[in-house]
């Protein structure tokens, strides 16, 4: 019975459903127009930064930039930045059914980064958390993309084929994870303070009412 199921179509429907749910939940009402404009620019930079590294599979600064964006502007902005970066990069590298799942998993990585650090977090602790998270995100992204490939192209999906697929991609996933550590260490110390200052300056002023006598 499972051999007759349209697994590719099911993967497409599942991916779109999860991505639309993520967009629905990630509308960043807590960001003003200036902050949202910067997040959009940063997402574009994150997407385009993948292009020069296309010749080296899995090595690119995109994931590190998405992690930095999410950690500063929050989970909702992180999801939008991650999904947007995937879409933008594939205008140069080629769109396909994989784009949907790249948007989903990079979006989830950006959303998760929003839980790691706030404006008051110590710089050293923040950098350490982002480094560990980015390292793990390299494997999580690869495993997620493998799951999509397994569901769509290995019908009927069986556990053994999934294990073999995950094992075969371990080298590329490790390169992604180690590359994320390198780019976080390279970019975060300079980007985090600048983005936090911009976020603080562009935040709406809080009105303080005089005490009631």
User: Which pLDDT score, from 0 to 100, does residue 207 have?
Assistant: 37
Is it the case that residue 150 has pLDDT exceeding 50? yes
Rg (CA), the chain: 19
- The whole-model pTM stands at 0.86
User: Which pLDDT score, from 0 to 100, does residue 26 have?
Assistant: 67
User: Which pLDDT score, from 0 to 100, does residue 209 have?
Assistant: 42
Task: Tell me the two tokens of residue 91.
Answer: 């205008």
pLDDT tens per residue across span 122-136: 667 788 999 999 999
The arithmetic mean of pLDDT across residues 187-208, rounded, is 77
Is it the case that residue 197 has pLDDT exceeding 80? yes
Q: What domains, with CATH codes, occur in the chain?
A: 7-199 (1.10.1760.20)
């Amino acid at each position: 019975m499972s051999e007759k199921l349209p697994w590719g179509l099911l993967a497409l429907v599942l991916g779109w459903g999860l991505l639309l749910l993520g967009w629905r939940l990630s509308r960043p009402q807590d960001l003003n127009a200036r902050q949202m404009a910067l997040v959009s620019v940063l997402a574009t930079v994150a997407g385009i930064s993948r292009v020069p590294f296309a010749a080296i599979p899995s090595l690119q600064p995109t994931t590190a930039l998405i992690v930095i964006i999410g950690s500063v502007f929050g989970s909702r902005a992180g999801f939008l930045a991650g999904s947007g970066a995937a879409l933008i990069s594939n205008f140069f590298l080629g769109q396909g059914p994989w784009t949907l799942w790249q948007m989903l998993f990079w979006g989830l990585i950006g959303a998760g980064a929003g839980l790691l650090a706030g404006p008051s977090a110590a710089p050293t602790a923040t950098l350490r958390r982002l480094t560990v998270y980015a390292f793990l995100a390299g494997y999580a992204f690869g495993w997620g993309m493998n799951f999509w490939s397994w569901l769509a192209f290995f019908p009927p999906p069986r556990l053994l084929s999934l294990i073999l697929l995950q094992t075969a991609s371990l080298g590329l996933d490790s390169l992604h994870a180690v590359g994320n550590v390198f780019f976080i260490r390279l970019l975060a110390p300079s980007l985090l303070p600048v983005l936090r200052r911009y976020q603080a300056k562009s935040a709406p002023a809080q009105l303080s009412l005089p005490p009631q006598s």
